[in-house]
Amino acid sequence: MSFSSHKINKLYPQMISKTPNPNFLSRLCVTLCCQVFISPATFHASIPNSTTPKSPTPPMALPSSDIAVPGQPLGATTEFLPGAGIHIRHDGQLSANIVGRIHINPTTTPPTLSLLSSPQDNTGPAATINPATLLPHVGSTVLCRVTRTNPRQANVSIFALDVAPVNDTAVVDGVVAAATSAPIPTGDTFPGVIRVQDVRATEKDKVRIASSFKPGDIVRATVISLGDQSNYYLSTGRNELGVVVARSDSGDLLYPKSWKEMICSRTGIVEERKVAKPI
**Residue 22: strand, helix, or coil:** coil
Q: Tell me, what amino acid is at 99?
A: V
Q: Are the CB atoms for 144 and 186 separated by under 8 Å?
A: no
User: For the chain, what is the radius of gyration of the CA atoms?
Assistant: 38
The shares of helix, strand and coil residues in the chain, as percent rounded to the nearest 5, are: 15, 35, 50
Identity of the highest mean pLDDT range in 12-21, 22-31, 118-127: 22-31
The tens digit of pLDDT for each residue in 255-268 reads 999 999 999 988 89
What is the H or E stretch that residue 16 is in?
Answer: helix 13-18
Whether residue 111 is predicted with pLDDT greater than 80 in this model: the reply is: yes
Q: What is the dihedral of CA 212, 216, 220, 226, to 10 degrees?
A: 90
- The pLDDT tens digits of the residues spanning 131-157 come to 656 788 888 899 999 999 999 999 999
Model confidence band, residue 121 (pLDDT cutoffs 50, 70, 90): very low
- pLDDT-derived band at 251 (thresholds 50, 70, 90) equals confident
pLDDT of residue 230: 86
Confidence at 26, pLDDT banded by 50, 70, 90: low
pTM of the model as a whole: 0.51
Average pLDDT over residues 161-183: 47
Query: Is pLDDT of 12 > 80?
Result: no
Query: CA 276 to CA 141: how far, in whole Å?
Result: 13
Distance, CA of 72 to CA of 114 (rounded, Å):
13
Cβ(232)–Cβ(198) below 8 Å: no
CA angle (192, 198, 204) in 5-degree steps: 150
Distance CA 231, CA 198 (A): 14
Residue 190 pLDDT exceeds 80: yes
pLDDT the model gives residue 277: 87
Q: Is the pLDDT of residue 62 over 60?
A: no
Mean pLDDT for 247-262 is 90
User: How many angstroms separate the CA atoms of 66 and 100, rounded?
Assistant: 8
Under DSSP, the state recorded for 40 is H
The pLDDT, as a whole number, for residue 25 is 55
Tell me what pLDDT residue 242 has: 94
Residue 242, C-beta contacts closer than 8 angstroms, at least 6 positions apart? 219, 220, 236, 259, 273, 274, 275, 276, 277
pLDDT band at residue 117 using 50, 70 and 90 as cut-offs? low
Mean per-residue pLDDT, 12-17? 49
Eight-state DSSP code of residue 61: P
First to last CA, the chain: 99
| pLDDT value of position 103 | 85
Q: Which helix (H) or strand (E) holds 29?
A: helix 24-37
